[in-house]
Amino acid sequence: MEVLTGKERRSRQEFGSRPTRLSSAQSKEAAKKIEQISKQVLMLINNSQELLQKYLKYQGSPFGQPDLLPEPKKLTELPSPDLSKDVWLSLSDSERLRQNYVAYTFLTDFLSEVKSWQEDLNPNASDLLELLEKSAKQALGLRSNVASVMKILSFPMPLVPPSPALDASTAFRKKLKGWSVCQQYQDWLHRTQRDITVLMQRYPL
C-alpha cells in the first residue's frame, strides 16, 4: 500500500479539488472553454512536431543531425514549462493560467521573429515560413482562450511587459535560437496539456 506524507496528501487533495465559489452557470461556462482548449492543444501539439521537423530540415548541417548538435537552450524569458512534480502540483488555478498566458504572449512574438529571420536565411522555404506564421497565430489564439477562462473565473489578468528581443547576432545563432523557440513552443504545449487536465478535473462538464 502506498504511504503518503501529510504534504503529499494535501497536494493530491488540492490537485483534485473543485472550487465552490462559482455559480453553476460560471462553472459550466468555464468547463466548456477548458474543454475547447484541451482539444485545441492536442491539435497544436501535432502541428508543433511538424514545425520542428521542417525547421531542422532547412537549417543545413549540423541541424537535422541530433548526434552533432547540442540540446537547444531553454529560453530564460519564458516561464519554465518543466517544473518539479511538487512545484507543479502546488500551483493554484490562477497561477497555472497566468504562466500559460505569459508564455504564449512571448511565444507569439518569438515565433514571428523566427519567421522574420527565416525569410532572410531561407527565403524559398515557403512551407516553413507558412508554418511559422500559422504557429504564431495559433499561439495567439491559445492565449486568447486562456484569457477567456481567467475572466470567467475572475482571475486577475497579468501585466506582461513587451517581449524582449531574442539575442542572435549571427546566422548560426539565429538558427540555433529559432530551434530553441520551436522546441520551447512544443514543450509549453505539453505543459498546457497537463495544466488543462488538472482544470478539467476541477471544472467538469
Domains of the chain as residue ranges with CATH: 25-202 (1.20.1250.10)
> In 3D, which of 72, 49, 40 has the Cα closest to residue 131?
49
What local confidence, expressed as pLDDT, does residue 22 receive? 74
What local confidence, expressed as pLDDT, does residue 168 receive? 84
pLDDT less than 50: residues of the chain: 1-18, 20
pTM to 2 decimal places: 0.86
What local confidence, expressed as pLDDT, does residue 68 receive? 62
Q: Per-residue pLDDT tens for 156-189?
A: 999 998 888 888 889 999 999 999 999 999 999 9
What local confidence, expressed as pLDDT, does residue 66 receive? 64
